[in-house]
Amino acid sequence: MARTIGRRKCRNCHKLFQPDARNINKQEYCSEPDCRKASKACAQKRWLAKKENQDYFRNKDNVQRVQEWRKRNPGYWRRSKDALQDHLTPEKTEEQAGKSKLTQDALQDVLAVQQAILTGLIASFTGDTLQDHIVTTARNMQQLGQDILNSSTTIFYGGDYDKKTPDTPRPGT
């Protein structure tokens, strides 16, 4: 039988919260951002208060370890500004232009990197969360987008993607 977890008062904001079952005996702070910062500050203060940790970042061994790491990783500080940012490569429409039919890949393959965002957008536009319906809509949207990108003189409207020619007269007619 599962044990019920009692609520506890946060040491920072003093509000009651439900501690995480995996850390029930030690969790003293709730999950609010300010309380998490206070928890981190308290833990760091406790760690630095221990005698063996007071010179942890200053002793000769640590300085030598850091210097050796810097020699093995030259220029790390220059590229670290992009370390948390993955660069997305744009899709190549030239390769897809020759394909008349969309590939029958799974939803995960069709949506690739932006899967969660695009799935959410399609579901909110259509009001439907079934994967089969989302993949059909995604394929139709991809085809419409390719048709628009690959045609400079045709105007597309929604629905069946009926092609309409512009009302402006063409030269020579």
Cα–Cα distance for residue pair 132/139, rounded to 1 Å: 11
Name, in order, each residue with C-beta under 8 angstroms of 131's C-beta and a sequence gap of 6 or more.
107
The one-letter amino acid at 42: C
Alpha helices in the chain (DSSP H): 33-49, 60-72, 76-79, 93-97, 107-111, 115-126, 131-150
The predicted-structure confidence for 161-173, as pLDDT tens digits, reads as follows 455 555 555 565 5
- Helix 115-126 crosses helix 131-150 at what angle (to 10 degrees)? 100
The predicted-structure confidence for 24-73, as pLDDT tens digits, reads as follows 888 999 999 999 999 999 999 999 999 888 877 777 888 888 889 889 98
Residue 17's DSSP bridge partners are 8
Q: What are the tokens at 61? A: 């061994």
Chain Cα centroid distance, residue 149: 27
Cβ pair 9, 18 in contact under 8 A: no
pTM of the predicted protein model: 0.36
Beta pairing, strands 155-156 & 163-164: antiparallel
